[in-house]
Amino acid sequence: MQKLEEKVAKKAKRNFSMTPKKAATMISAYSIGLFFIYPYINMILTSLKPHGELYSTPTKRLPVDWQFNNYLDVWSKAPIADFLKASIVVSIFATLLVLLVSVPAAYYIARNRFKGRAAFLLLVLATQMFSPTALIIGIFREVKFFGLLDTWLALIIVNAGFNLAFAVWLLSGFFASVPVEIEEAAMVDGCTKFSALRRIVLPVTLPGLVTAVIFTFVATWNEFTVALTIMSSPQRQPISTGITTFVGQYDVAWEYLFTTTAIAIVPVVILFISIEKYLVGGLTAGSVK
């Protein structure tokens, strides 16, 4: 027994011993992590400073007079609640619209070998090369033609359109990885094609669905150019354009701008935390045979 304990202790010591390679890897990892997290730290610290302190010379990194009231005052400085409501509504419905269209489209592509299938998938992937900025004039004229200027419906349709191609391309790969024999067995037991998709295929491909949801939701939440162009009413603007309220002609209320930005990332962080395990599964699917 004593020999076994000594063997386990030596093995643990060997595993936790700090070699130069491990030290270099650890330092590199922490450095990269700090590099990416530093802007968020600076944002939080700036949001806790009074306005006059932002222009002091020299500017100190840590606030001298901590202004936690900025997170309460900002709600009266601009319609933050309306901004958040608009972003949540547009992001949720754009994501639902993408799923409603991409699931049957991706399923059909995965289960049928029709003529021009490869060209169609290539065309779907090629649409990702076009950004809203390059198409903004055409988008504005089309939205105006249908009388949808300054409406959430326009934002929902446009954002769903720009994220639909990625969702179809992603989900078609997940559906193709599910053996068709599973569906055939389910239909032998009495399932229809639709019920087999709903009860068998969708639960198996849940990581892929979650990946499509998170990417669509975040892309819609962060979209700026289209919202800035077609939305004019302050109460109907999403949070991505609403933060420009604090950018004036001669001054910028940095403390409120960063406070609003910190508030805006909270729903996305909550969403990531809620479905993180499914997201990791979706991103790493197919990496191990």
- Which domains does the chain carry? 2-47 (no CATH), 79-283 (1.10.3720.10)
Go through the chain and tell me how many residues it has: 289
pLDDT at 238 over 90: yes
pLDDT at 126 over 90: no
Residue 11 parent element (H or E): helix 2-16
Confidence of residue 96 (pLDDT cuts 50, 70, 90): very high
pLDDT at 17 over 80: no
More confident residue, 26 or 154: 154
Residue type, 268: V
Rounded Cα distance between 56 and 89, Å, is 40
High-pLDDT (> 90) share of the chain, %: 25
Contact (CB, 8 A) for 133 and 197 = no
Q: What pLDDT does residue 99 have? A: 93
Contact (CB, 8 A) for 79 and 234 = yes
Confidence of residue 110 (pLDDT cuts 50, 70, 90): confident
Rounded to an integer, the average pLDDT of 60-75 is 84
Peptide bond connecting 203 to the previous residue in cis, omega within 30 degrees of 0 = no
Confidence of residue 239 (pLDDT cuts 50, 70, 90): very high
CA 60 from chain centre, in angstroms, equals 33
Confidence of residue 280 (pLDDT cuts 50, 70, 90): low
Q: What pLDDT does residue 286 have? A: 44
Rounded Cα distance between 263 and 84, Å, is 9
Q: What pLDDT does residue 288 have? A: 42
Q: What pLDDT does residue 157 have? A: 94
Q: Write the CB contacts of 128 (distance below 8 Å, at least 6 apart in sequence).
A: 165, 166
Residue type, 266: V
More confident residue, 130 or 106: 106
Confidence of residue 61 (pLDDT cuts 50, 70, 90): confident
